[in-house]
Structure 1
Amino acid sequence: MADPTPILGIDLGTTNSLVGVVDSGFPILLADEAGQRSTPSAVNYAMDGSVLVGEAALRKRALEPQRTVTSVKRLIGRRAGEGSWQPAYNLRQLDVTPVQVSAEILKRLKAIAERALEQTVSRAVITVPAYFNDAQRNATKQAGELAGLTVERIVSEPTAAALAYGLDKLEEHKKIAVYDLGGGTFDISVLEMRDGVFQVLSTAGDTQLGGDDVDRVLMEHVLEAAGTSSLPDEARMATLLVAAEAAKKRLSTEESTRVEIPFFEGSQSLSVEIGRAEFEKRIRPLIEHTRPHCLRALSDAGIKPEDLDEVILVGGSTRIPLVRSYVKEIFGREPNVSQNPDEAVAMGAVIQAGILSGSLKNVLLLDVTPLSLGIETFGGLMNIIIPRNTTIPCKAGEMFTNAVANQKDMLIRVLQGERELAKDNWELGRIEIPFPPGPKGSARVGVQFAIDANGILQVLARDTATNTDTVLEIQNTAVNVDDERVEQMIAESVEYAFEDMNERVWTEAKLKAEELLPAVDAALEQFGDAVTAEEKAVIEAAAAQVRSVLTAVDHDARALKVANQTLDDATQELAVRLVEQAMEESLVRRGLV
């Protein structure tokens, strides 16, 4: 018997999806009526309005490519036109969204589970690539809700795979890398496992790289080898894509194979011999694209390849011999292939579901946020509130004040990214907090960021004078940046590190100079007679130098800092006199002198 109120574990995959549950204390994957645990992530929308999901839909792909949706995971939570991959079908013509398509797949998995368990189920844990952004995670959650499921947790796929691997090793202390190359996405995560606690140390990846891309490269090679003069129509292209995918799988165990499609062009059949060596040559650039992500994940985790205890392979594309040899080359060790690469993520989701339902105990899963989160501060700087790779769920906050006098409100721009300047990061949303005008520094606004267990962000801003709260739920990000730019963000933060830091130091020094110069001018006007000509000349020369550096074309942060310090030193005596006068005036007002 399953748990009285079971929680399903679901791997909503690009190519295939799986569902399971903890039964009598054991995590199991559930099979459909045909005894298959894997359900193709395909949906066919027939002309009569009926919907087919799974294997039945996949059989329709060659006949009705425009009405058969596959690999929708690569579109979920994304704006039209983002990413280089474009499907053969048009969701707008079908009048459906990626969320609705995903919901159909989830409905099918829910039905498989209810048939196997002989009871209604309404709760689930669903996995997503570690590098899914906030919009993609929310869209996945919406798909679950549309399918009639309460989504209890969104779990990163590599984390789920590590959880599946480590269930029988709860007493051990290990550092693990999970290399996950699936149908449409690539993830690399480094985790530490100690006494049943799984903590993600770092994560990286590309949500637009996977087996789909390998299939297309192989398909292009077949067309080239066949000498096809023009691109096939959509139906033949779909047929060829299916044949290319089958050939790819055969080349994992065979040295050569043949792609044969009878009557491919009218009476002409297609027949092309493909050797593994040529296949690997063609796809190597794709596989090599995973190296920088792996190296970055290791660097972010602060460990070297030799520090790892295991490198686990997950995802059907890791069956390709080139992938396995390349992983060995990157990490300097044989990868662990003890897990079924197609089922490890689903098994981890089931285990996490069992933990939440109470069916499994003594295991704790800690995930991380993949990119830093913060707000824009005065001067256009990025102020980080939650650094990247912070364990979630988490909360963090800071107090901010008005930067100029008589300011009527504060605009809080919520940012995501790794660059020093706000303009180089991505805006997720904004909140405007009104408050009574007053002197500089008179307003106090507390800003708190909270990331829940699903990696979804909530921003709370509180005006401490009125205790008025404004809450921003980042359900669909204002800017759904192309995932290819996510991986660029960290690379650019390294590439432009010196320029960015110089610009930050320059901006901070500029703000100080813009405060210092008016104060010096006012002090000279007030104490002009009390300052010697020599003192005044030194102060004016120092002020002139600050103005000169400020107006220079090149932002020389070091020169501005030196000029500020020189002016600061030159006005020390003047500052002392100002303080003494202020104290004397205060004593007079109080009648003490």
Structure 2
Amino acid sequence: KETAENYLGTKVKNAVVTVPAYFNDSQRQATKDAGQIAGLNVLRVINEPTAAALAYGLDKTQDKIIAVYDLGGGTFDISVLEIQKGVFEVKSTNGDTFLGGEDFDQHLLRHIVKEFKRESGVDLTKDNMALQRVREAAEKAKCELSSSLQTDINLPYLTMDASGPKHLNMKLSRAQFEGIVADLIRRTVAPCQKAMQDAEVSKGDIGEVLLVGGMSRMPKVQQTVQDLFGRAPSKSVNPDEAVAIGAAIQGGVLAGDVTDVLLLDVTPLSLGIETLGGVFTKLINRNTTIPTKKSQVFSTAADGQTQVEIKVCQGEREMALDNKVLGQFTLVGIPPAPRGVPQIEVTFDIDANGIVHVS
């Protein structure tokens, strides 16, 4: 907020905030609250891959289906969109909200610590200061290996033992690093396949693949994307700036300055309730265009019952407990009657921010 105000020389009140597409309701609500705490009026929460697609497609006249592969610092998203004459329609979205660049750093950190122990006999896991230096060096090495085939990790006076100071000096090749993080890159494949399946498109239908997020600079990631979609990813968007540019375009749409753009996004996760036997009954399926609402009539399970407990969950698993519980509420004041007679209508509403409201 301060950065924007300093640059513009005026007060900034309204904001469009972006979140990973696969964020659930609680994560979205927390992000919106954080904006409000910072003194911003959050006009809209939009999904990062969708924002990147806006940045890419604003000046394109050709209709096409695109995939946005977004591997950032902490999260991974994949979205499939159809762009037609200014209409950006999200067909499906998938991802992993706990997979990103920090995990790559962590894998490399563990490798360095293990090697150091093997060579010097010293275990760094007890030494927080040393670990912090290794973590910074790991991140730096990761970035360097995107442009060079080998890097040196050199940390003098990293720690001490009875024999004196210990220095860390090791060479790391790109191939070694790719081996260390291979499982993380592999974890992005299944969500991509699922997103294509949900969008009912094959890789041959996808006319462009955009890479977003700093981690998408890693050559092995780019190669994986190319193998997965059968085409080289597009270089037409800046992986760090595309999302912010897209958010600015959406801000322009909301302010009425940009008129020929329509954004149709989807809810990433199914919304439903817990029913008899702990089963998760879906009311709004994942990849439904938002905003959307669905009403459901509830009744009682026993004679003379005066209240009903309703547990609202979000996710794809069969049992309610395996999904994210968004909250529960109790319908009270039901007039006593034989079971199944009272009719209570509850409406579930997902707004344009992907946030759930129940009435």
Matches within 5 A, 1:118-517: 118-169=9-60, 171-226=61-116, 227-228=119-120, 229-231=122-124, 233-266=127-160, 267-378=165-276, 380-433=278-331, 434-460=333-359
Q: Which amino acid aligns with 1:443?
A: P
Q: TM-score, normalised by structure 1?
A: 0.57
Tell me if the contact between 1:204 and 1:370 (Cα under 8 Å) persists in the aligned partners. yes
Tell me if the contact between 1:378 and 1:403 (Cα under 8 Å) persists in the aligned partners. no
Deviates more, 1:158-167 or 1:409-418: 409-418
Please state whether the residue corresponding to 1:392 is helix, strand or coil.
coil
Tell me if the contact between 1:366 and 1:391 (Cα under 8 Å) persists in the aligned partners. yes
What runs of 5+ residues in structure 1 fail to find an aligned partner? 1-109, 461-593
Deviates more, 1:372-381 or 1:362-371: 372-381
Question: In the aligned structure 2, how far is the partner of 1:268 from the partner of 1:401?
Answer: 70
Can you list the C-alpha shifts for 1:280-336, whole angstroms capped at 9, x where unaligned? 111111101111111111111111111111111001111111000011111111111
Tell me if the contact between 2:23 and 2:97 (Cα under 8 Å) persists in the aligned partners. yes
Specify whether residues 136 and 277 from structure 1 end up closer, same or farther in structure 2 by C-alpha distance, changes over 3 A only. same
Please state whether the residue corresponding to 1:115 is helix, strand or coil.
helix
Question: In the aligned structure 1, how far is the partner of 2:36 from the partner of 2:250?
Answer: 19
Please state whether the residue corresponding to 2:181 is helix, strand or coil.
helix
Specify whether residues 265 and 405 from structure 1 end up closer, same or farther in structure 2 by C-alpha distance, changes over 3 A only. closer
1:491 is matched with none
Specify whether residues 225 and 382 from structure 1 end up closer, same or farther in structure 2 by C-alpha distance, changes over 3 A only. closer
Please state whether the residue corresponding to 2:133 is helix, strand or coil.
helix
Please state whether the residue corresponding to 1:406 is helix, strand or coil.
coil
Question: In the aligned structure 2, how far is the partner of 1:225 from the partner of 1:384?
Answer: 49
What runs of 5+ residues in structure 2 fail to find an aligned partner? none
Tell me if the contact between 1:197 and 1:364 (Cα under 8 Å) persists in the aligned partners. yes
Please state whether the residue corresponding to 1:397 is helix, strand or coil.
strand
Q: Which amino acid aligns with 2:78?
A: I
The structure with the greater share of residues assigned to helix is 1
Question: In the aligned structure 1, how far is the partner of 2:8 from the partner of 2:314?
Answer: 42
Can you list the C-alpha shifts for 1:219-253, whole angstroms capped at 9, x where unaligned? 23333344242115222211121111111111111
CA apart distance, 1:404: 4.0
Matches within 5 A, 1:36-47: none
Specify whether residues 164 and 404 from structure 1 end up closer, same or farther in structure 2 by C-alpha distance, changes over 3 A only. same
Question: In the aligned structure 1, how far is the partner of 2:307 from the partner of 2:64?
Answer: 50
Question: In the aligned structure 2, how far is the partner of 1:222 from the partner of 1:234?
Answer: 15
Matches within 5 A, 1:572-587: none
Specify whether residues 281 and 458 from structure 1 end up closer, same or farther in structure 2 by C-alpha distance, changes over 3 A only. same
Tell me if the contact between 2:124 and 2:130 (Cα under 8 Å) persists in the aligned partners. no
Can you list the C-alpha shifts for 1:143-168, whole angstroms capped at 9, x where unaligned? 11111101111111111111111111
CA apart distance, 1:430: 2.2
Please state whether the residue corresponding to 1:391 is helix, strand or coil.
coil
Question: In the aligned structure 1, how far is the partner of 2:72 from the partner of 2:208?
Answer: 19
CA apart distance, 1:375: 2.4
Specify whether residues 322 and 419 from structure 1 end up closer, same or farther in structure 2 by C-alpha distance, changes over 3 A only. closer
CA apart distance, 1:273: 0.9
Q: Which amino acid aligns with 1:128?
A: V
Q: Which amino acid aligns with 1:161?
A: A
Question: In the aligned structure 1, how far is the partner of 2:319 from the partner of 2:146?
Answer: 47
Q: Which amino acid aligns with 1:396?
A: K
Tell me if the contact between 2:22 and 2:95 (Cα under 8 Å) persists in the aligned partners. yes
The structure with the greater share of residues assigned to strand is 2
CA apart distance, 1:354: 1.4
CA apart distance, 1:391: 0.8
Tell me if the contact between 1:287 and 1:323 (Cα under 8 Å) persists in the aligned partners. yes
Bigger Rg, structure 1 or 2: 1
CA apart distance, 1:378: 4.7
Matched-pair identity in %: 51
Greater relative contact order (CA < 8 Å, ≥ 6 in sequence): 2
Specify whether residues 221 and 440 from structure 1 end up closer, same or farther in structure 2 by C-alpha distance, changes over 3 A only. closer
Specify whether residues 379 and 315 from structure 1 end up closer, same or farther in structure 2 by C-alpha distance, changes over 3 A only. closer
Tell me if the contact between 1:179 and 1:188 (Cα under 8 Å) persists in the aligned partners. yes
Give the aligned length.
350
